[in-house]
């Protein structure tokens, strides 16, 4: 084997210009592949981060209450009872919290916007509050500086609200400013409450513009619901991989406690609010979901991104394959005499085939390793720079207000494996042509 | 007709024409009169224009045709303009409000509190008045509203009745009993909307055998988002019977096509 490598290396070095050009092309495409994989992973990380902090637990027990068939509210009565059942049936739960969701208009002196205020208990939501980052003032206020004013812990004080940067920007408010929340109670009466902005958090993608945090009690006061009412009980597990198992268990046991459960649907609760008025039932029904269900509407972003990446890489690979085949044919043609001589002194066809394939594989391995490492380094550098995304549309698609890429050894190994195999396969036909040459013909070719 | 005469007689007794405070019973009679004036026992058809002004946004104008059959609580709102809203419509049957969007060709059940076409107007703004049925009234005083002498009333929603605004204040012209101004308050006590009704039109209804009063123009000012307002103009009111077929999904779908 060593001799093949030596011969391959010698041949690659002999044709330096050709090797360099083909290797550079392979490296660039490999670097691009690793970069795109890192970007896709970053997108996926953002989605998981959003889904498992702002939007959902690993498993959720939500409730929908219908006063009449057309009036749906995300309300779950007797929240403490449901929490108790969940605690008993899911002993492996790391944390169990519950949140109350509303739909309200936030009004400031300068503007207004619809959003879903989420009522939380700050005392038990340390995990959520620790995941939020205070936003730089300049990200939401014209002329603002690098300072990150605000204090998430102030949410515990009555009359305070946490906004996200995109909301603060639209409403033209900052920490300490007042806003009014206008909502309708379950029975349709208009209500309002005034809040002071306790903190402005960094955006976590497109969905955080439709989420704001207040205390559960504040939301109960606005909606005039019973004190023991919530919207969703969120279950966080030690092992996120056990999500489906826990969901299946709860689906099985909750009916035995007298609850009616909606058919499982991989959609967030707010999409179901639009669908459920078309069903004729009234009263309470439970809705069991996983974090993936609650973030399912974001999958199109990943699917679209993967599709575009696949198309781009496929086109570039095709160009590379054509280049390799052409180069290998040229190599075989140039070395026809050498092949004839080797065959004449007793080298078998398989060995000739192996000689040319080794050359191609060596080139593919070296170029893709270099390209993969460059791509990973570029991705890591950009991630560390945490470049701010100015475009709202890009923020929505990338699910973050900074560019996040997550390169890993897995991505580099995948790129190396793909490009080495593709290079080897591309060289197969020219190598076979070389191996099939008759020694006499090959030597005569030289003459 | 008999009911109107009864109300007029009752008001003549309870409203002696002085500036004396109105007793709750007198206020309730005044509210019942408001409802009675606007109530149409037969069918109702009108062309409605909704102009929505929002701060920092372009003005939007919607045109719709409204059909009502109060006897059976049926209501149809069909949008004619702007182009992107044309063909969309609401249909209320058996206390259920449905919305049809021709761009997706689907019906959706909506809450009774649905904001019509996303504006600040609601189904109630196009529906019959139920003040006496839904609220208990209190006289706050007689005041001058521009050049009009008006009764200033406060209304609080009756227990167990679902209304959008639990507290209202009304200004009713002392002379002709036209509703001039209406303010709507949230549960928190905050003023949410102020509505002015500068133009009323009186039409003869054969089915009612009496006149029906129609607010020809309503100007609604958002008191939370200052600068936002909605104007509803009602034109071409027809109180003649309309076809039964109008109050069906098939009719709305056919109009959307």
**How far apart, in whole angstroms, are the C-alpha atoms of residue A167 and residue A368?**
44
Q: Out of B111, B112, B224, whose CB is closest to A192?
A: B224
Domain boundary among A296, A328, A353: A296
Mean pLDDT computed over A397-412: 85
The residue of B54, B161, B186, B224 whose CB has the most chain A CBs within 10 angstroms, and thus the best one to mutate to test that interface, is B186
Q: Which range marks the domain in which residue A425 is found?
A: 2-49+298-446
Contact yes or no for B112 and A192 at CB 8 A = no
For residue B202, with 0-12 CB atoms within 10 Å meaning exposed, 13-18 middle and 19 or more buried, which class applies?
Answer: exposed
The secondary element (H helix, E strand) that includes residue B193 is: strand B191-205
pLDDT at residue B95, as a whole number: 74
Closest CA to A290 of A250, A253, A258, A254: A250
pLDDT tens for each residue of A107-145: 999 889 999 999 999 999 998 998 899 999 998 998 888
pLDDT at residue A349, as a whole number: 86
Instruction: Using alpha carbons only, give the angle A422, A425, A430 rounded to the nearest 5 degrees.
Output: 130
Domain boundary among A266, A296, A326: A296
Tokens 């972003």 identify what position? A301
Complex-level ipTM: 0.81
Please tell me which residue of chain B has the smallest CA distance to A180. Answer: B224
pLDDT at residue A115, as a whole number: 93
* In a shared domain, residues A364 and A302: yes
Q: Give pLDDT tens digits along chain B (257 positions).
A: 445 545 544 544 444 444 578 899 999 999 999 999 988 888 999 999 999 898 878 899 999 999 988 788 888 999 998 988 899 999 988 778 889 999 888 888 887 666 776 666 666 676 778 899 999 999 999 999 999 999 999 999 999 888 889 999 999 999 999 999 999 999 999 999 999 999 999 999 988 899 999 999 999 999 998 888 999 999 889 999 999 899 999 999 998 76
The partner residues of B108 in beta bridges, in order of sequence, read: B99
Question: What is the DSSP code (8-state) at residue B177?
Answer: -
B225 close contact with A: CB closer than 8 A:
yes
Domain boundary among A296, A328, A351: A296
pLDDT tens for each residue of A176-211: 999 999 999 888 899 999 999 999 998 887 778 889
Count how many Cα atoms sit within 13 Å of the Cα of residue A189 in the half-sphere of its side chain. Answer: 25
- Give B108's contacts in chain A (Cβ within 8 Å): 274, 277-278
Residue window 120-179, chain B: list those with CB within 8 Å of chain A.
157, 162-166
Mean pLDDT computed over A65-72: 86
**How far apart, in whole angstroms, are the C-alpha atoms of residue B43 and residue B38?**
13
* In a shared domain, residues A180 and A107: yes
pLDDT tens for each residue of B86-144: 999 999 887 788 899 998 888 888 876 667 766 666 666 767 788 999 999 999 999 99
* In a shared domain, residues A337 and A412: yes
Interface of A with B (CB under 8 A): 68-72, 107, 111-112, 180, 182, 184-185, 187-193, 224, 274, 277-278
pTM, 2 dp: 0.76
pLDDT: which is higher, A157 or A206: A157
Is A13 a residue whose pLDDT tops 90? no
Tokens of A367: 């170029």
* In a shared domain, residues A239 and A328: no
* In a shared domain, residues A374 and A256: no
* In a shared domain, residues A73 and A210: yes
The residue of B158, B166, B187 whose CB has the most chain A CBs within 10 angstroms, and thus the best one to mutate to test that interface, is B187
Contact yes or no for B157 and A278 at CB 8 A = no
Is A447 a residue whose pLDDT tops 70? no
pLDDT at residue A9, as a whole number: 85
The residue of B225, B226, B229, B249 whose CB has the most chain A CBs within 10 angstroms, and thus the best one to mutate to test that interface, is B225
CA distances from A229 to A75, A225, A233, A259, B247 (A): 7, 7, 11, 16, 39
Contact yes or no for A69 and B97 at CB 8 A = no
The DSSP result for A239-308, as a single string, is -GGGHHHHHHHHHHHGGGGT--BPPP-SS-HHHHHHHGGGS---EEEEEEEEHHHHTGGGHHHHHHHHHH
- Chain A nearest CA to B135, separation (Å): 13
Q: Out of A69, A188, A191, whose CB is closest to B186?
A: A191
- Chain A nearest CA to B251, separation (Å): 20
- Chain A nearest CA to B234, separation (Å): 26
Q: Do the Cβ atoms of A195 and A178 come closer than 8 Å?
A: yes
- Chain A nearest CA to B111, separation (Å): 5
The residue of B111, B112, B155, B167 whose CB has the most chain A CBs within 10 angstroms, and thus the best one to mutate to test that interface, is B111
Tokens of B81: 């303009």
Cα A14–chain centre separation: 45
Count how many Cα atoms sit within 13 Å of the Cα of residue B9 in the half-sphere of its side chain. Answer: 6
- Give B192's contacts in chain A (Cβ within 8 Å): 182, 190, 192
Number of domains in chain A: 2
* In a shared domain, residues A276 and A350: no
Please enumerate in sequence order all residues whose Cβ is within 8 A of that of A320, keeping only pairs 6 or more positions apart, or say none.
A25, A26, A29, A419, A422, A423, A426
Tokens of A93: 């739960």
* In a shared domain, residues A199 and A61: yes
- Give A69's contacts in chain B (Cβ within 8 Å): 96, 109
Contact pairs from chain A to chain B, CB under 8 Å: 70
* In a shared domain, residues A253 and A324: no
**How far apart, in whole angstroms, are the C-alpha atoms of residue A166 and residue A394?**
13
* In a shared domain, residues A282 and A356: no
pLDDT at residue A403, as a whole number: 85
Is A65 a residue whose pLDDT tops 70? yes
Provide the mean pLDDT of chain A. 90
B235 SS3 class: strand
Q: Out of A69, A107, A111, whose CB is closest to B96?
A: A69
pLDDT tens for each residue of A257-277: 999 999 999 998 888 988 898
pLDDT at residue A346, as a whole number: 81
Contact yes or no for B224 and A107 at CB 8 A = yes
CB atoms within 10 A of CB B133: 11
* In a shared domain, residues A19 and A134: no
pLDDT tens for each residue of A30-48: 999 999 999 888 888 888 8
Q: For chain B, which domains are there?
A: 1-257 (2.50.20.10)
Q: Out of A185, A190, A278, whose CB is closest to B192?
A: A190
* In a shared domain, residues A242 and A303: no
**How far apart, in whole angstroms, are the C-alpha atoms of residue B14 and residue B113?**
35
Query: Long-range CB contacts (< 8 A, 24+ apart) of B185-190?
Result: B186/A182, B186/A189, B186/A190, B186/A191, B186/A192, B187/A185, B187/A189, B187/A190, B187/A191, B187/A192, B187/A224, B188/A191, B188/A192, B188/A193, B190/A180, B190/A192, B190/B223, B190/B224
């Amino acid at each position: 084997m060593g001799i093949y490598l030596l011969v391959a290396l010698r041949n690659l070095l002999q044709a330096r210009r050709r090797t360099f050009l083909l290797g550079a092309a392979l490296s660039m495409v490999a670097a691009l592949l690793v970069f795109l994989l890192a970007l896709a992973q970053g997108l996926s990380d953002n989605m998981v981060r959003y889904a498992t902090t702002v939007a959902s637990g690993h498993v959720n027990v939500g409730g929908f209450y219908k006063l009449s068939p057309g009036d749906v509210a995300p309300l779950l009565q007797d929240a403490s009872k449901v929490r108790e059942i969940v605690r008993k049936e899911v002993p492996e739960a790391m944390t169990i919290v519950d949140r109350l969701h509303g739909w309200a208009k936030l009004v400031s002196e300068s503007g207004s916007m619809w959003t879903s205020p989420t009522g939380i208990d700050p005392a038990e939501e340390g995990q959520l509050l620790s995941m939020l980052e205070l936003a730089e003032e300049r990200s939401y206020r014209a002329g603002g500086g690098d300072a990150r004013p605000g204090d998430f812990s102030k949410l515990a004080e009555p009359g305070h609200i946490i906004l996200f940067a995109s909301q603060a920007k639209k409403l033209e408010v900052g920490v300490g400013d007042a806003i009014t929340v206008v909502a309708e109670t379950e029975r349709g009466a208009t209500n309002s409450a005034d809040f002071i902005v306790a903190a402005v958090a960094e955006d976590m993608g497109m969905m955080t513009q439709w989420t704001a945090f207040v205390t559960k009690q504040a939301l109960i006061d606005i909606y005039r619901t019973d004190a023991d009412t919530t919207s969703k009980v969120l279950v966080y597990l030690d092992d996120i991989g056990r999500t489906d198992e826990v969901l299946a268990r709860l689906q099985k046991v909750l009916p035995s406690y007298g609850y009616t459960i909606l058919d499982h649907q991989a959609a967030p609760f707010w999409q179901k609010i639009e669908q459920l008025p078309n069903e004729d039932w009234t009263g309470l029904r439970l809705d069991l979901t996983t974090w993936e269900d609650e973030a399912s509407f974001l999958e199109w972003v990943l699917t679209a991104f993967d599709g575009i990446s696949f198309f781009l890489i496929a086109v570039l690979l095709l160009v590379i394959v054509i280049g390799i085949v052409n180069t290998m044919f040229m190599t075989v043609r140039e070395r026809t005499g050498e092949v004839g001589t080797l065959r004449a002194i007793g080298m078998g066809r398989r060995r000739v085939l192996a000689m040319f394939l080794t050359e191609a594989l060596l080139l593919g391995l070296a170029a893709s390793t270099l390209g993969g490492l460059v791509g990973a380094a570029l991705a890591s550098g950009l991630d560390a720079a945490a470049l701010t995304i100015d475009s709202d549309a890009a923020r929505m698609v990338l699910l973050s207000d900074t560019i996040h890429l997550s390169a890993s050894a897995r991505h580099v190994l995948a790129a190396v494996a793909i490009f080495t195999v593709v290079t080897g396969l591309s060289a197969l036909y020219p190598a076979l042509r070389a191996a099939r040459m008759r020694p006499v013909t090959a030597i005569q070719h030289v003459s | 007709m008999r009911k109107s005469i009864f109300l007029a007689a009752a008001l003549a007794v309870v409203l002696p024409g002085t500036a004396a405070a109105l007793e709750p019973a007198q206020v309730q009679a005044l509210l019942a009169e408001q409802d009675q004036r606007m109530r149409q026992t037969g069918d109702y058809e009108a062309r409605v224009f909704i102009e929505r002004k929002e701060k920092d946004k372009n003005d939007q104008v919607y045109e719709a045709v409204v059909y009502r059959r109060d006897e059976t609580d049926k209501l149809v709102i069909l949008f004619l303009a702007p182009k992107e809203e044309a063909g969309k419509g609401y249909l209320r049957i058996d206390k259920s409000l449905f919305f049809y969007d021709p761009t997706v060709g689907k019906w959706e059940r909506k809450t009774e509190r649905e904001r019509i076409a996303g504006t600040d107007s609601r189904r109630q703004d196009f529906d019959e008045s139920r003040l006496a049925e839904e609220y208990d009234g209190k006289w706050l005083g007689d005041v001058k509203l521009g050049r009009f002498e008006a009764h200033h009333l406060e209304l609080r929603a009756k227990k167990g009745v679902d209304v959008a605004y639990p507290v209202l204040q009304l200004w009713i012209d002392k002379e002709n009993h036209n509703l001039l101004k209406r303010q709507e308050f949230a549960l928190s006590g905050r003023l949410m909307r102020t509505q002015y009704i500068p133009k009323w039109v009186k039409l003869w209804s054969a089915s009612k055998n009496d006149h029906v009063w129609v607010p020809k123009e309503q100007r609604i000012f958002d008191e939370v988002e200052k600068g936002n307002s909605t104007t509803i103009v009602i034109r071409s009111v027809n109180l003649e019977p309309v076809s039964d077929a109008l109050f069906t999904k098939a009719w709305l779908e056919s109009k959307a096509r």
